[in-house]
A and B are shown apart, each in its own frame.
Chain A
Amino acid sequence: MLLLIQYTLIFASVLLLVALGGCISEHSGIINLGLEGIMVVGALGGALVMSRLSYLPPAVMVLLSLLAAIALGMLYSCLLGVAAIHFKADQTLIGTAMNLLATAAATVFVKAMNTAANPDNHSSEIEYVTGRKMFIVNIDGFEFNWFMPLAIIAVVLVYLFLYKNKLGLRLMACGEHPQAAASVGINVFKMRWMGVLISGALAGLGGLCYILAGVSLWKFENGVAGFGFLALAVMIFGQWKPGRIAIAALLFGLFRALSNTYMGFPFLAALKLPSNIYNMMPYIVCLIVLAFTSKTSHAPKAEGIPYDKGTR
């Protein structure tokens, strides 16, 4: 039971961080389908710091790996920013390309690094045993992860940013009606860049959190198993509102956690369902939930439409 709560909280933290990133980006008018890719890149940054700088004092190392994940996430999200904001590219296509590129590039990079260190090592794995320990406080078998409070702080900050702040309200205006926003002197390009970069930072953090969830060794060939898209589903279920997104993230986190821990529940283990059923669960739940909640969508009106000064 404790394990279930632990996994639920940690997966919910991942989904929450990434979904908030997607939420800010969409409020600025850019659909960020590249979240999955940004997660991989952010995870790579964090994993590199954790495996290379594990001799540093814990607080410094934790901070550095968080910063690395944020920085790489933001850097990678620039690919979306340049294409979608300045070149009016198809945002779905660009996001898909980013997802494919991230996994391929991370694999090539990590393999090259491993091979350079040891000519016989052609794996795409990075190990971070000591690094992971610094993120975790063990309370009677419950692995408390610093990402859990971080995710809660992120919800509060995003809420304050979007609804209690001039900048956030301006950003949201650009996702609803960019031409109207521009007419009152708001720089739509700047606002959309801000949205994309913040989403990059949050998704990068989410990626780091994801690889810290249960293991201390990550194989970058595997990417992040559709978590970027689950996060988008969380965002839609949460109707683009931070508070609701938090609740949605908990629900999805629970189902994801079940696939890791169902063996610990006698009544579930007794059903003798194949483990694949549990692996499918979060995705099935996601589909059902979306089927019921998408009809009355509160999506930002101008999301996905390139900003053109000339149109009204």
Chain B
Amino acid sequence: MKKLLKRPGVQAFVASIICILLGLLIGYIVLLIINPQGATESIFKVIQNFFSSKRANLRLKNFGNTLTKTIPLIMCSLSILFAYKVGLFNIGAAGQYVAGACACLYAALGWGWSWLPCMLLAVVVAAIYGGIVGLLKAYCNVNEVISGIMLNWIGLYTANTILSNVKETASPYTLYLDKENPAALLPNIGLDKLFNNATVTIAVPLALIIAVAVEILLNKTRLGYELRATGLNKNAARYAGMAENRNIIMTLMISGALAGLGASMLYQTGYMRWECTQSSVPAMGFNGIAAAFLGGLNPIGSIFSSFFIQHITDGGSNVNTNFYSSQISDVISSVIIYLCGFVLFIKLTMNRMISRSEEKKGEKN
């Protein structure tokens, strides 16, 4: 048992579980304060999400919906954790996500491209958009958090302007992808039948493969080693002959590409349309921060944490809206992010407890 607890992977897992439980507890307390009567039922609705649907058929379909939205979240959390490993807090992932969404939707609706070119365009545009943050950081020493936030807003208004050209005349939403250009929809490769849900696509296996690829890139390649070294100590990396400016720009470009790909993986399923009058940056990029940290900054971990975050976010729409609002799940996930700040402390406490009990054992022997 103790040997198991010593392993860093297990520690990260335990710390994440503690964060989740505390986050849910605080969410429950908030519900209790608002109205004690339906609180227990509602918090279970949040945790259950699609399990609370009555018919098996519907359960499967709702599971598919959650899965479809988990995919971009996985990509965003990969984007954030990739940059974080290199010592950069890419809060601009939200804007890079917007850039990707704008590119793939315009290519699909405006130019009638098919799915793969649309997706690739989203990746390239988002990578360039992330590269701007990198350029500013590397050559002008601009804090990446501030430039990221500014670019989020610039991206949002730009996307609204550009996508207004391909929107429905009567509504602020972009045209239906499945009616205008079905070729731009991602192929289902049979998953739609499995889940009884047309929005489950090739994006699901693709995202899992990319998560593994990011893990390999970071830990098993020379580039990954250089990037991590730059993150640990910029000056030491330069002294060892690594091009630290190039590494910073490259990191943010890859990070942006991941976020942009995530956007393409959601908007090209036809599940969602872009609202050209939206006045806030889509929450996906910010939830990616929650998922990345909850997953212990590990690409494989972020698959599970992304699913969990999306699971409770969707579950939030099931609460009894006579008393509560669906934003309760935003409260829970932001509390979880806050608690993730204490992970270092939790791990430290765990190690201290282990070494203390070992000392006692040593005395007995």
Chain A residues within CB distance 8 Å of chain B: 33, 79, 83, 87-90, 92-94, 96-98, 100-101, 103-105, 107-108, 111-112, 115, 119, 122, 124, 221-223, 225-226, 229, 232-233, 236, 274, 276-277, 279-280, 283-284, 286-287, 290-292, 294-295, 297
Contact = CB atoms under 8 A, between A and B. Distances in A.
Contacts of B333: 100
14 contacts: A89-B341, A96-B289, A100-B334, A101-B337, A105-B30, A111-B325, A112-B34, A115-B323, A232-B146, A280-B154, A283-B153, A290-B146, A291-B136, A292-B140
B145 A93 contact: no
Contacts of A108: 30, 34, 324-325, 327-328, 330-331
B91 A96 contact: yes
Given A79-B338, A89-B341, A96-B289, A283 B322 contact: no
Contacts of A97: 334-335, 337-338, 340-341
A277 B34 CA distance: 41
Sorted from nearest, which 6 A-B pairs have the closest CB atoms? A89-B341, A104-B330, A97-B338, A101-B334, A100-B334, A97-B337
A31 B340 CA distance: 18
Contacts of A122: 321, 325
B337 A115 contact: no
B142 A87 contact: no
A124 B325 CA distance: 10
A90 B146 CA distance: 16
A62 to B, nearest CB: 29
B325 A226 contact: no
A295 B141 contact: yes
Contacts of B91: 96
B338 A101 contact: yes
Contact of B279 (A93, A107, A222): A222
Q: Is the interface of B mostly helix, strand, loop or mixed?
A: helix
Interface of B: 30, 34-35, 89, 91, 136, 140-143, 145-147, 149-154, 157-158, 160-161, 164, 279-280, 286, 289-290, 293, 321-325, 327-328, 330-331, 333-335, 337-338, 340-342, 344-345
Given A89-B342, A96-B91, A290-B136, A104 B141 contact: no
Contact of A290 (B89, B142, B157): B142
A297 B323 CA distance: 50
B328 to A, nearest CB: 6
B341 A276 contact: no
Contact of A286 (B150, B322, B327): B150
**Most chain A beta-carbon contacts within 10 A, residue among B34, B157, B322:** B157
A286 B157 CA distance: 15
B335 to A, nearest CB: 6
B153 A226 contact: yes
Nearest to B283: A100
A98 B338 contact: yes
Contacts of A93: 89, 289, 293, 337, 340-341
A221 B279 CA distance: 10
Nearest to B341: A89
A150 to B, nearest CB: 26
B141 A229 contact: no
Nearest to B159: A276
A303 B337 CA distance: 22
Contact of A276 (B35, B150, B158): B158
Contacts of B158: 276, 280
A236 B143 contact: yes
Contacts of B149: 226, 229
B150 A229 contact: yes
B112 to A, nearest CB: 24
A233 B154 CA distance: 15
Nearest to B329: A104
**Most chain A beta-carbon contacts within 10 A, residue among B140, B153, B158, B328:** B153
